[in-house]
Structure 1
């Protein structure tokens, strides 16, 4: 009697493990198919990005932009940049020191913080050099 119960339990265990392996196999196949689809989509997006960069370079050609600026001068009033339009560093007006009284040179601001969900890298508070 004991031997037949053991055979029945062993048979049920083998059948259960076989079913589990069957289910896991299908989950794995589904995950592999999903990864393949994602890799294909990434490849397509990279191809689109290459095309968009080429189109951007084509549309931003200086001679094309110059022609567009000339055609639309009446509406936009765009002129070419000239060296005289650029300033020098000593021409920049910096704010006076008393313009921002809430920020003084002796005040320090603490910028250290922790991100939510980060883990302390030192186990049990040990400090590493």
Structure 2
């Protein structure tokens, strides 16, 4: 009986060692993938910053004004002036019409009830 107990204990130790070995390599792989993803995120953020800088450079008001003047014949764009812009509170929003198709008469709902 003791021999069977020793064999079962040895097999369980070997099984746990194998499981720990597998978990170690799975953890190592997950850490490697995490480092790669972090590196990719860093590269993507750097690229996004470059693209934002390029966008800001290409949308300079003096450059856009010059392009509008150069291409006036083809596009008919007028040069930008400060008086062409307005404020949000100056925008006239259309009034939404309130339409009730299936109205319910609520004045008689409590008529049949006794207090």
Q: TM-score, normalised by structure 1?
A: 0.66
Deviation above 2 Å: which 4+ runs of structure 1?
A: 80-89, 91-95
Structure 2 Cα separation of the partners of residues 59 and 46 of structure 1:
20
Residues 69, 79 of structure 2: 8 Å contact kept:
no
Higher RCO structure (Cα 8 Å, ≥6 apart) = 2
Q: 1:32 to 1:86 in 2, by over 3 A?
A: closer
Structure 2 Cα separation of the partners of residues 85 and 63 of structure 1:
17
Q: 1:22 to 1:84 in 2, by over 3 A?
A: closer
Structure 1 Cα separation of the partners of residues 93 and 18 of structure 2:
78
Q: Over alpha carbons, which structure has the higher Rg? A: 2
Instruction: Identify the residue that residue 71 of structure 2 maps to in structure 1.
Output: 72
- Show structure 1 runs of 5+ residues with no match: 104-129
Residues 61-88 of structure 1, C-alpha deviation per residue, up to 9 Å, x if partnerless?
Answer: 1111111101110111111244278599
Please give the root-mean-square deviation of Cα atoms over the aligned residues, in Å.
Answer: 2.9
Structure 2 Cα separation of the partners of residues 54 and 12 of structure 1:
63
- Show structure 2 runs of 5+ residues with no match: 101-115
Instruction: Identify the residue that residue 20 of structure 2 maps to in structure 1.
Output: 21
Structure 2 Cα separation of the partners of residues 43 and 84 of structure 1:
41
Instruction: Identify the residue that residue 54 of structure 2 maps to in structure 1.
Output: 55
Aligned residues between the structures: 100
